[in-house]
Amino acid sequence: MLELRHIKKSYDHVTILEDINLKIQDGEIVSILGPSGCGKTTLLNLVLGLTPADQGRILFDGKDITNVPMEERGFNIVFQDYALFPNLNVYKNITYGLRNKPDISSKEEVDEFIELLGLKEHLNKKIDQLSGGQKQRVALARTMVMKPKILLLDEPLSALDGVIKESIKEKIKEIARDFHLTTIIVTHDPEEALTLSDKVLIVNQGHISQYGAPEEIITAPSNNFVKEFILNQLEIKRNNIFALFHQNLTNSVQAV
């Protein structure tokens, strides 16, 4: 279990996160949802160990890891901008982290991740020859082969749309389930959060607005922010789809 206790973080005397208390069970998929600038990436960086907290403690499997350096925590992240190496091909990007730690994944296991993420036919390509979705899958594979104890994903689906997005969502679920991997995903899309995760963490202005299962968030939003931010956005999306459908229907009727 990962536990955050009374975590506080500020930058330049501005409080970004305040009194964050959170428990994430092993194997759970948790989405972090909230407006731009509310502190989602900061929260991931605190868990990863990239950023120190000002106050509070972080525990993993009962052990206090607050002061344990990033390399020793054994967590891994897919960054918001993927941070792939443009001068290396896909295969070299995927196996980059293994060059000094070849024991973590065997050649067969690397191949399995490549297969799982549908990257087999792209292995010799350079990064700039890939689509956005393919880049995201390379970033995911590169992180997975390191077998992290916790997988952190910062907006892994933001550049994707439609079918690809759904298929990667399924892949993430599959990987989390098969490897019993605790996964924390940052997103700003309520629909994505509600369909992908076991629990949703809603952050607003540096505070936890609500933390619960998707059905709990939908049926019992704990405050106005949750109601407005999440449910209205879903409603707007639904209305847009309906309006689009209606428009297309009208157009086709007129065309006839």
Ligand X SMILES: Nc1ncnc2c1ncn2[C@@H]1O[C@H](COP(=O)(O)OP(=O)(O)OP(=O)(O)O)[C@@H](O)[C@H]1O
Binding residue (CB under 6 A) for ligand X from 42, 93, 95, 210: 42
Binding residue (CB under 6 A) for ligand X from 6, 26, 37, 85: 37
- Give the helix ranges, DSSP H, for 79-180: 90-95, 107-116, 132-144, 162-178
What tokens does 99 get? 């060059």
SS3 at position 23: strand
Minimum CB–partner distance for residue 172 and Mg ion (Å): 18
Instruction: Give, as ranges, the residues between 180 and 199 that touch ligand X (CB under 6 A).
Output: 188
Minimum CB–partner distance for residue 36 and ligand X (Å): 3
The Cα–Cα gap between 78 and 141 comes to: 10
Binding residue (CB under 6 A) for ligand X from 20, 31, 39, 145: 39
Whether the CB-CB separation of 175 and 29 falls below 8 Å is answered with: no
Minimum CB–partner distance for residue 65 and ligand X (Å): 20
Binding residue (CB under 6 A) for ligand X from 4, 20, 33, 40: 40
What tokens does 47 get? 């868990």
31 binds ligand X (CB under 6 A): no
Closer residue to Mg ion, CB minimum distance, 16 or 119? 16
Whether the CB-CB separation of 185 and 47 falls below 8 Å is answered with: no
41 binds Mg ion (CB under 5 A): yes
102 binds ligand X (CB under 6 A): no
Whether the CB-CB separation of 55 and 6 falls below 8 Å is answered with: yes
Residue 209-238 contact track with Mg ion, rule CB under 5 A, x = bound = ------------------------------
| DSSP category for residue 88 | S
Edge-to-edge strand order for the sheet containing 207-212? 75-78, 150-154, 182-187, 29-33, 199-204, 207-212
Residues forming contacts to Mg ion in the complex (CB under 5 A) are 41
Contact residues for ligand X, defined by CB under 6 A: 11-12, 16, 34, 36-42, 188
